[in-house]
């Protein structure tokens, strides 16, 4: 959608101050721990773009709160499984040998949106070191949330998602649906006899760039939208249209507990 069209669809511009009011009306509070999934374009025109959204989130939760965003780098993975787009098989060894190692300070996100890509470079935002499934965090519990993330279980029991769960955090969806709800991958670790697959990524090990292969469960978000719809039928969540975006706020712990039962 063109920028002029997004302007036509709004009665008034989204601004940092209007977003502060809207996020508070949605239920976001000072001191909250919240993982945010977002689409900037869904809001319509925003005065200040992603910076305005981030500033508003920070103002609402305050320094005693914590903001987390997934900063995934799906292109740092084994090219043999790439589908969007696939690459010729003769390219695979070249990519494994030449892919730059993940650097939390440098490596850009892939397909995560403008808000996330802006957030990861923000002052005092810290990022975990998983080469494919990293998270960025700001606020009171940022160090704790990104402190540990095993390579073999990027969304598992010691991941940032698990730490948000322990802290009683919330999930905020800004103009996106449950198929973008990364927390549901944490629930997948409860599935018995989950298939393991071999994955790979370029990373730094002993101060050297290496291509590392590892085994992890096979994640599958195809059912997340149906799962989320069923969750919303049973649990009260907070909803509000902000700009042009349908936004939702929910307890991550209630979501994960429900998802574990649903998936099994």
In the prediction, which pLDDT does 228 show?
97
208-221 pLDDT, tens per residue? 999 999 999 999 99
Residues 61, 81: Cα–Cα separation, whole Å: 39
Residues 36, 181: Cα–Cα separation, whole Å: 9
In the chain, % of residues over pLDDT 70: 96
In the prediction, which pLDDT does 8 show?
57
Rounded (5°) CA angle 207-211-213? 120
The values of phi and psi at residue 163, to 5°, are -70, -35
- Residue 15 near residue 47 (C-beta atoms within 8 A): yes
Query: Rounded to two decimals, what is the model's pTM?
Result: 0.94
56-76 pLDDT, tens per residue? 999 999 999 999 999 999 999
21-37 pLDDT, tens per residue? 999 999 999 999 999 99
For residue 175, how many other CB atoms are within 10 A of its CB? Answer: 23
In the chain, % of residues over pLDDT 90: 91
244/11: higher pLDDT: 244
In the prediction, which pLDDT does 9 show?
64
In the prediction, which pLDDT does 194 show?
86
In the prediction, which pLDDT does 192 show?
85
Angle between helices 49-61 and 16-26 (to 10 degrees): 50
């Amino acid at each position: 959608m063109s920028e002029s069209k997004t302007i036509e669809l709004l009665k008034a511009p989204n601004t940092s101050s209007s977003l502060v009011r809207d996020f508070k009306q949605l239920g976001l509070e000072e001191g909250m721990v919240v993982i945010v999934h977002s689409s900037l374009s869904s809001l319509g025109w925003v005065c200040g773009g992603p910076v305005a959204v981030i500033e508003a989130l920070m103002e609402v939760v305050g320094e005693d709160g914590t903001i987390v965003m997934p900063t995934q780098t799906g292109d740092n993975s084994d090219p043999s499984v790439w589908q969007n787009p696939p690459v010729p098989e003769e390219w695979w060894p070249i990519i494994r040998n030449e892919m730059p190692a993940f650097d939390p300070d440098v490596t850009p996100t892939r397909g995560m949106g403008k808000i996330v890509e802006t957030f990861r470079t923000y002052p005092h935002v810290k990022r975990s070191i998983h080469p494919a499934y990293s998270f960025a965090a700001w606020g009171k519990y940022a160090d704790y949330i990104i402190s540990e993330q095993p390579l073999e279980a990027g969304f598992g029991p010691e991941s940032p998602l698990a730490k948000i769960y322990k802290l009683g955090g919330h999930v905020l969806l800004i103009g996106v649906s449950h198929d973008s709800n990364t927390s549901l991958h944490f629930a997948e670790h409860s599935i018995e006899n989950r298939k393991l697959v071999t994955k790979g990524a370029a990373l730094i090990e002993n101060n050297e760039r290496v291509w590392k292969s590892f085994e992890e469960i096979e994640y599958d978000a195809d059912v997340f939208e149906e799962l989320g719809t069923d969750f919303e039928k049973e649990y009260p969540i907070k909803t509000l249209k902000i700009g042009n975006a349908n936004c939702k706020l929910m307890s991550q712990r209630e979501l994960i507990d429900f998802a574990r039962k649903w998936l099994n």
